[in-house]
Structure 1
Amino acid sequence: MLGWALIFLIVALIAAALGFGGIAGAAAGIAKILFFVFLALLVISLLSHLLRGRSSKL
């Protein structure tokens, strides 16, 4: 999914440079949504790692 976010970011930048407002806006919106999804997944992953703690292996 991170690849998709990067692709939409590149499409938004190219479309903005060429002046296509609708395409740039849509791609930027999708990239923004994917960014926040990844940010939420990062926070959930970090919290689960911290709450789980270290397991002692014998």
Structure 2
Amino acid sequence: MDNVVIRGRRGILHFIRFPTSEMGNFLALAKSKGMANLVTTVCATGGGAFKFEDNFKK
């Protein structure tokens, strides 16, 4: 995601991998930063992509 501002800093945001146990924290961060307004596509692979698909859609 290009041109993202978090805490006054602007840059490119990359999520390479993180434990699925932290998915709740990630979704809370994404929601609080309005990331759904920045992108329309999330690329994900693995079992977590299927397991959390409905959470991402919300």
If the length of structure 1 is used for normalisation, what is the TM-score?
0.29
Higher relative contact order (CA 8 A, sep 6+): 1
Bigger strand fraction: 2
Bigger helix fraction: 1
Larger radius of gyration: 1
